[in-house]
Structure formats: structure tokens, C-alpha cells
Amino acid sequence: MNRVKQKLARGEVCRGGWIQIGHPAVAEIMAHAGFDWIAIDDEHAIIDFETGGNIFGAIRNSGTVAMVRVRENNELVIRRWLDAGAQGIIVPMIDTAEQARAAVASAQYPPRGRRGFGFCRANQYGAEFPAYVRDANDDLLLIAQIEHIEAVRNIDAILAVEGIDGTFIGPYDLSGSMGLTGQLTHPDVQEAIRATLDASRRHHKAAGVHVTAVAPDQVAQAVEEGFTFIGLSLDCVMLHHACRLMMAESR
């Protein structure tokens, strides 16, 4: 079974990272560094399905769970990423229970959903088809990204949808939807974040957050607050940080 999904169900913390640099070597390096999960950022990066499949192949035997944040809540997009080998899907801009149910239907095989059956990379082009189809629905980790104040208002209904395993807060978009763009420490923004975290606890589902900066103290704070699905920066930020640090120390 999906190792991250198992750990989250037990309330354990899972630390992952984002991929925006579209090369399998980057994912391979991150996987061997010990990330629990790695998510391709299909929403903001320029990574196609073929490259994504190669990225998943690079980490297939590492123990790291391969995920993708899809560009939109679209049935064909979700199905194609799953066929490419994604073990988890993060769906952006989930504002209502209806949208959450649509995401579940796109990602699950019948009778739970509408995902189409077929030989693909995820089932080794048919070689593992029976076992994959048997386990895929239960193995999938499906995360609803909460990044609008409307989603916060509907958070209990969203989390009540069967098949949604947790939430992931997009703090910048959330603050923007409140007319407080970038003011992440504003009391109203913090209240919205806490409301999402509290609802996740009530529904016994994972609460996720992205710590964009390379800042261990912020990660520790997120864990202390109760977040268990934590995104640790992203590849381009980590590379930028390491390069600047190396240059500063070399002087």
C-alpha cells in the first residue's frame, strides 16, 4: 500500500518536496535524500506527461511516493497522470464538496469513479494490470488543495467526501482571496488556516501545508501546530539557496 497514505492514516508526519525542474535526476537526488513524497508541480511548471513518467520511473524503487499537483480539476488530466504512474494527486482550487466529489470520481476506477481501464506505465503496460486495478482505488492518496476563503467556509463538507484523504493549504492564494495577498501572519489569514487544520482533525484526515522557504524552524512550527503532510520548499528554491550559500561562504 501507499506508504505515505499509511503513515498519514496513523497520524505520522510525512515530509515531501516539489519538482519544478523537469528532469528525472532532480527527483532521483531528492528521493535518495529521504523525502517521503515528491510532487511534480503540473500547475506552475512546464512538465509534460512523458517527462513526468520518466521522473516517476527514476524514483520507482526508492520508497518515495510519486505525486503530482495537477494543473486543474479535470478528469482527463487526472487520469493521464495516474496512468503515467502517480501514486498521489493534489488537486488545486477545491472550493466545494461538489468539486471534491468530481476529483474523486476522476481518480477512482468504477464502481467508485469513472477512471478508464487500460494498459499504461502505472501497471507496467499490462504486466501488473490485475494487481494494479485491484489495489489502485485504496492505494491512491488524494489531497484537496484549500486556497480560497470559500473553501474554508465549506471545509467540513469537503472533508466529508469519501475518497478525500486530506487538505493542503495554499497560503498565498488563500490570503489573496481574502484581499490580504502575502499577509500570511494577518489574524484573519491565520484564523482561516487554523479553521482548515481544526476541520482536518475533526474528520481524522491529514492536514498539509507548504513551507516555501528553506527554513527548518518553520517546518518545526508546522509540525507542532499539527500539520502532517508538509511540503519542504521546492527544487528550484533549494538549488538557489544552496548556490547563494556556497558563493557567500566561498568569499
C-alpha cell belonging to residue 104: 474523486
Supply φ then ψ for residue 209, to 5 degrees. -155, 150
3-state SS assignment for residue 210:
strand
CB 56 within 8 A of CB 120: no
DSSP 107: H
CA distance 211 to 174: 14
**Residue burial 163-192, b: 16+ Cβ < 10 Å; e: rest:** bbbbbbbbbbbbbbbbebeebeeeeebeeb
Angle at 173 between CA 242 and CA 148, to 5 degrees: 145
* Cell numbers at 46, concatenated: 512546464
Catalytic residue among 23, 32, 44, 240: 44
Outline where DSSP puts E strands in the chain: 14-19, 37-41, 65-69, 88-91, 141-146, 166-169, 206-211, 229-234
Distances (CA, A) of 181 to 6, 24, 160, 171: 35, 34, 29, 9
Is 44 among the catalytic positions? Answer: yes
Q: Which residues are catalytic?
A: 44
